[in-house]
């Protein structure tokens, strides 16, 4: 499909001050840890929006190197902590806006158990 030439699917697991970014093709995964500049607070997984967005963007740039035609990712955001009782509208918006700010053209949010690369790809396709 032509769409696949310009799109990369990413699965982003979010923990306190940490992103794990994986291509759902399964060929590459990286971890971005931010202990020196924490973006999480005692109450929020993403408490420092700009800092978290910068770390996420840097991680995505490492996993999707610059090419002549830059691929616009589809991103499945998966908060792993601080989700008891679900996410508020504000928390969902923070996750969406952060991913869109990195250049994503499609963002989905998953709450539940960790997914395999294939399961993450299906979630993005079915959304």
The domain made up of 3-126 has a fold known as Nucleotidyltransferase; domain 5 (3.30.420)
Kindly indicate the confidence band of residue 66, based on its pLDDT and cuts at 50, 70 and 90. confident
Q: pTM for the whole thing?
A: 0.91
Kindly indicate the confidence band of residue 34, based on its pLDDT and cuts at 50, 70 and 90. confident
Angle at 43 between CA 13 and CA 54, to 5 degrees: 50
Res 2: pLDDT: 47
- Which of 5-9, 70-74, 106-110, 116-120 is predicted with the least confidence, judged by mean pLDDT? 5-9
Structural domain spans, the chain: 3-126
What are the residues whose beta carbons fall under 8 Å from the beta carbon of 124, sequence distance 6 or more?
9, 24, 74, 76, 106, 108
- Which of 27-41, 48-62, 110-124 is predicted with the least confidence, judged by mean pLDDT? 27-41
**How far, in Å, CA of 15 to CA of 23, rounded?**
18
């Amino acid at each position: 499909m032509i769409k696949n030439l310009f799109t990369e699917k990413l699965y982003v697991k979010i923990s306190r001050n940490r992103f794990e970014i994986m291509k759902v093709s399964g060929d590459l995964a990286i971890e971005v840890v931010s202990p020196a500049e924490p973006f999480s607070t005692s109450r929020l997984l993403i408490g420092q929006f700009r800092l978290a967005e910068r770390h996420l963007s840097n991680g995505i740039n490492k996993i999707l190197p610059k090419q002549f035609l830059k691929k616009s990712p589809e991103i499945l955001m998966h908060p792993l902590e601080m989700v008891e009782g679900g996410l508020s509208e504000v928390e969902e918006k923070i996750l969406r806006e952060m991913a869109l700010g990195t250049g994503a053209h499609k963002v989905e949010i998953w709450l539940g158990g960790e997914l395999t690369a294939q399961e993450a790809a299906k979630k993005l396709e079915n959304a």
